Each structure stands twice: as C-alpha cells, then as structure tokens.
Amino acid sequence: MTAPDAPDPRPAGWRLAGIGLLALGVAAALYVAGRLHQPDYTFSMFGADPFRPKSLLATMALVLAGVQVLLAAWIYRKLPLAGIPPRPVPVAHRVTGFALFALTIPVAVHCLIAYGVQLTSPRVAIHSIAGCFFYGAFAAKVLLVHSRRLPGWALPVAGGTLAIIVGVLWYTSALWYYNGYRLPAL
C-alpha cells in the first residue's frame, strides 16, 4: 500500500522503457545502415594513413570519458575527499561531454563510409557493434538529462554505459593500432 500523495512509479517506468527503445532504435538503425552500405576503402578524411589520427582522436575521447566519470562522481558527491562541487563543475561536465561527442563524429563518419559495419573478425565485430551502441546510448543519456522525473540511478547508469563503450571502442581500435595491429590479452 502506498501513501495517497506518493508519485505513481508507472509513468517513470514507461519513460525509461521509451528511452531504452529509442536508444536501441538508434543503434539498430546505424547497424542496418552500416551493414547495407557498400564500404569505400579508398575514402579517407584523414589522409593516406587514417589509423594514426583516428587513434589520437579516440585516445582524446577516452581521456575525456575519464574526466566525465570523475566530474559526474564529484557532482553526485561520490568522489572521496572532494567536497561539494563548485558551480563550474557541472558546466565542465557538459562541455567535456560535448567535446567527447564532437571528437567521435569524424571518426564515426570515416568508419561508416570507409568500412560500414563489418563482422569479419571478433575485434571488428565488437568495434562495429559498440560504435552503433555508442550513439544509441548517447541519445538515451541526452533524453535522461532532460527528464527530471526518472529514478536517480538512470542517469549514472547511462553515463557509465557511455564511458564503458568508449573504453571498448578505444581498446578495439586505438590500442589495437598502438600495439602493432594486435590486441593485448587481458
């Protein structure tokens, strides 16, 4: 039995389900588009060797994802010994989030046009699918940020998911390149 003035949890559940379905829809649309696209291996926004600049951008995105996690932990007061975050911390979180997203655009455009979504090896398949999920998770996080009546755990879960996906993308691309076109064993 709930109190008469208790908020109804069902609308929040439906909103969460809708946001989750939208995220899956974005990821699925990118996956289908990438699978249907005929790769153009001659396309390059980055010159003759696209791996070096793409790996640099991916590494910068990984660093920004780490900054995002630290700033979010500070905002939610989960960062030990940090105290109350000053007013610029949430602004810095938004700015680094925008920069992280902006860094991914040229890399994603190049990957989609030059390679599409490929499933030729486990590394390539994981990278392709994680790239699709990144943009779905990003769409979900943007919607969650603007929704004030959702459970408090939803936004940190979405942000953490984005950070993990950035790590997976970096591991299967930039680290692969920096390690001589081989993935190091975990």
Integer Cα distance of 49 and 158 in angstroms: 34
Per run of 10 residues, the mean pLDDT along the chain (length 186 residues) is 52 88 96 96 90 96 96 90 90 95 96 96 97 95 86 91 97 97 86
Cβ neighbours, 10 Å, residue 103: 20
Give pLDDT, residue 2: 46
Give pLDDT, residue 32: 98
pTM, entire model: 0.89
Instruction: Check: CB of residue 121 under 8 Å from CB of residue 47.
Output: no
Give pLDDT, residue 69: 95
| Residues contacting 15, CB < 8 A, separation 6+ | 147, 149, 150
Integer Cα distance of 123 and 150 in angstroms: 36
| Residues contacting 127, CB < 8 A, separation 6+ | 168, 169, 172, 173
Give pLDDT, residue 179: 96
Give pLDDT, residue 79: 87
Closest CA to 111 of 166, 34, 49: 34
Integer Cα distance of 115 and 74 in angstroms: 39
Instruction: Check: CB of residue 106 under 8 Å from CB of residue 45.
Output: yes
Burial string for 5-42 (b: 16+ CB within 10 Å, else e) reads eeeeeeeeeebbeebeeebeebbeebbeebeeeeeeee
